[in-house]
A and B are shown apart, each in its own frame.
Chain A
Amino acid sequence: MDLISFPEMSRGSLRAMRQTIDGAFRDFTRAWGETLEAIFSPLQSLLTFLENLLIHSPWILVLAAISLGIWLLSRSWRIVVGAVVALVAIGYFGMWEDTMRTIAMVAVCTLIAVVVGIPIGILMAQSKRTNAVVTPVLDMMQTMPSFVYLIPVVMIFGLGKVPGVIAVVIYAIPPVIRLTNLGIRQVAPDVLEAADAFGSSDWQKLRDVQLPLALPTIMAGVNQTIMMSLAMVVVASMIGVRGLGQPVLQAINQQYFTMGVMNGLAIVAIAIIMDRTTQAYGHRLQKHSEVRK
């Protein structure tokens, strides 16, 4: 008996299997593709609207609005000044439009990740069974090479923004789900008992106790989600998402070193701004834990 080569399925049946599955998926795409596109079209409109708003408004207004937003979240002049300097440099080096597209993309992806992810995290924290089902799915989403799920997404939606958003959200949503779950589970049991003893309903307990106490942890998840969406911009540019990823991709193909580095640094700059801003916001949420008045 041959112990060296592994006993494989015959090539014929393997091919037949692949063809059957591919065929079935293609049929599914033909039958449902347009419906799915219609369902996701509001996403397309939202993203386009935000992009246009950022690109076609006077740059000085955009810069002012972004600075104001950062100030409101972080209450830190250092972060605001750093952000303004970085954005002015980005604009001066001719990357303003691509940067705005990337910011719009990350904003929409983060919004979706939060809107979808936090409720899933809450459900996981409430029920052991949901936790047992969702955890392996999250593991898969985080380890599956992103190119693999780009294939079916592109088959259904074609190239463009919507498949880009879907791919980014799949890649970036796990942290916000996991940390929402963790944050709620970490709430001290004696505080929960007090909430019960005073007659809280489940909803009141969630609203008054669990979510507020989990919020700093949830914010850490949102921060991770933003970072991961930014990391995914370059990959998403392969399926037609415009923004800072595209020039990077172009630079790889044509070996433009400076172009690659500049756009790469722009991504890093945005990442640092968003990271510091959300972290500062997370710290502010924990103000009550400071000992001094």
Chain B
Amino acid sequence: MNANDSHDIEIRHLYKIFGSESRNYIKSVKDGMTKAELNDLHNHVLALHDINLTIPRGRITVIMGLSGSGKSTLVRHLNGLIRPTAGEVLFDGKDVATMSPAQLREFRRMKIAMVFQKFALLPHRTVLQNAAYGPSLRGVSASEAERLARHWIDRVGLAGYEDYYPRQLSGGMQQRVGLARALANDAEILLMDEAFSALDPLIRVDMQSILLELQQELQKTIVFITHDLDEALRLGDQIAILRDGAMQQVGSREDIVLRPANSYVADFVREVNRGRILEVRSVATPVAANDDLPDFEVKARSKLDVVARRMTSEGVARALVRDRQGTVVGTIDLPAILDAMVNPADAASDAEDAA
């Protein structure tokens, strides 16, 4: 496989200006005109500003931002629902931005499926018919479409509800139908636009678990849009933070929490329960040659809070960190764990108060 037909999605220098004469202003924007100037002088909206992002195949990439940050606009560039003003969206050697309408239809039918915030199910069709929608558009035979639909309805836990209409189901169940509809398309890429944002908190966590469980086995390229940091940290193998149409930081959850790229991201992650996000391997100290190793062992990918609980209940102060292959990653002690669980910014402001 050469670099040009990678199944990663490559977003390169993507700009989107909303307005009737967007193309006239792209040069000024590239030369440094700001969002506010564009809006005041020309009444055009700069929605995305020089976005560069690699979305690796088979992983979950979360694009996070507050409302108006451009995250929904960005995700719609991936399947061509919105065309960029400038830039490229490359997948498998093709640029989605320059596909013809016929090519786009083909791409959407075969390669990329989508789950929507407001479910967007077909209200006049049953659960079964909704799930069979994608395959039926592809021209798959009716019996095969039904087989696929039943399979995925079963996988999202809706067996028995095939003949219900969407309006007869709760929000959580409707979104399971939305998920089944997208999965029945058997596409490599799954776009999820605030897919769980309209659900109650408990149902939301439930749906996240279903998604993670399915992803273990499916290994799809998932692009998940959310404004909820907890959701982003729970789901994202890679997290991209967007603000006012500009990318703030792209990284793993440890990168985002431990090494925020700027004060905006730092503010964002300030309230995070770090103990539940961080894995011990990220704070373990490497073993020196003549170190004496503790007997108590913990797994490298365990979260800090779980490890802290185990260590305190066992009454040990120091533990050996081993990864799945059994290699020693390092050692960890309780003060280091506590230190990592406290946000440095909060610690600093407390120290000032005390003084």
Contacts and interface: CB of A to CB of B under 8 A. Distances in A.
B144 interface: no
Interface in A183-207: 188, 190-191, 193-194, 196-201, 204
A190 B122 CA distance: 10
A196 B134 contact: no
A56 interface: no
A198 B116 contact: no
A198 B133 CA distance: 8
Contacts of A196: 81, 108
A197 B108 contact: yes
B183 to A, nearest CB: 12
Interface in B209-225: none
A197 B164 contact: no
Nearest to A216: B124
A199 B167 contact: no
Interface SS majority for chain A: helix
Q: Determine which residue in A193, A197, A292 has the highest number of CB atoms from chain B within 10 A of its CB, and name it.
A: A197
B167 A289 contact: yes
A199 B105 CA distance: 4
Interface string A94-135: 000000000000000000000000000000000000000000
B306 interface: no
Given A198-B113, A198-B185, A293 B108 contact: no
Contacts of A212: 122, 124
Interface in B224-239: none
A213 interface: yes
A11 B133 CA distance: 69
B120 interface: yes
B79 interface: yes
Nearest to A190: B120
Contacts of A208: 122, 133, 137
Contacts of B164: 293
Interface string B104-119: 1111111001101010
Q: Determine which residue in A199, A289, A290 has the highest number of CB atoms from chain B within 10 A of its CB, and name it.
A: A199
Contacts of B116: 190, 193-194, 197
B67 interface: no
A75 B113 CA distance: 40
A9 to B, nearest CB: 46
Nearest to A289: B167
Interface in B90-132: 104-110, 113-114, 116, 118, 120-125
B347 to A, nearest CB: 45
**Tier of interface size on chain A:** 20 to 34
B123 A194 contact: no
Nearest to A212: B124
B25 interface: no
B168 A191 contact: no
B137 A193 contact: no
**Tier of interface size on chain B:** 20 to 34
Interface string A231-256: 00000000000000000000000000
Given A198-B185, A292-B168, A204 B120 contact: no
A198 to B, nearest CB: 5
A22 B116 CA distance: 62
Nearest to A192: B120
Given A198-B108, A204-B137, A293 B120 contact: no
Contact of B123 (A193, A197, A198, A289): A289
B104 to A, nearest CB: 8
B167 A291 contact: yes
A196 B124 CA distance: 17
A198 B165 contact: no
Contacts of A280: none
B118 A201 contact: no
A288 B167 contact: yes
Contact of A198 (B114, B118, B167, B168): B114
Interface string A254-293: 0000000000000000000000000000000000111111
A199 B101 CA distance: 10
B105 to A, nearest CB: 5
Interface string A207-223: 01100110000000000
Contacts of A198: 108-109, 113-114, 133-134, 137, 181, 185
B137 A200 contact: yes
Given A197-B79, A199-B108, A288 B114 contact: no
B167 A194 contact: no
Nearest to A286: B124
A190 B121 CA distance: 9
Contacts of A291: 167-168
Contacts of A194: 114, 116, 120-122
Given A197-B114, A198-B134, A198-B185, A191 B109 contact: no
A200 B81 CA distance: 12
A251 B138 CA distance: 63
A198 B121 CA distance: 12
A230 B28 CA distance: 64
Given A196-B108, A197-B113, A201-B105, 14 more contacts: A188-B120, A191-B121, A191-B123, A193-B120, A197-B108, A198-B113, A198-B114, A198-B181, A199-B108, A199-B109, A199-B138, A200-B137, A209-B122, A291-B167
16 contacts: A191-B120, A194-B114, A194-B122, A197-B113, A198-B108, A198-B137, A199-B105, A199-B106, A199-B107, A199-B108, A208-B137, A212-B122, A212-B124, A289-B123, A289-B165, A291-B168
Interface of B: 79, 81, 104-110, 113-114, 116, 118, 120-125, 133-134, 137-138, 164-165, 167-168, 181, 185, 191
Those 4 A-B pairs whose CB atoms lie nearest each other, nearest first: A199-B109, A199-B108, A194-B120, A197-B114
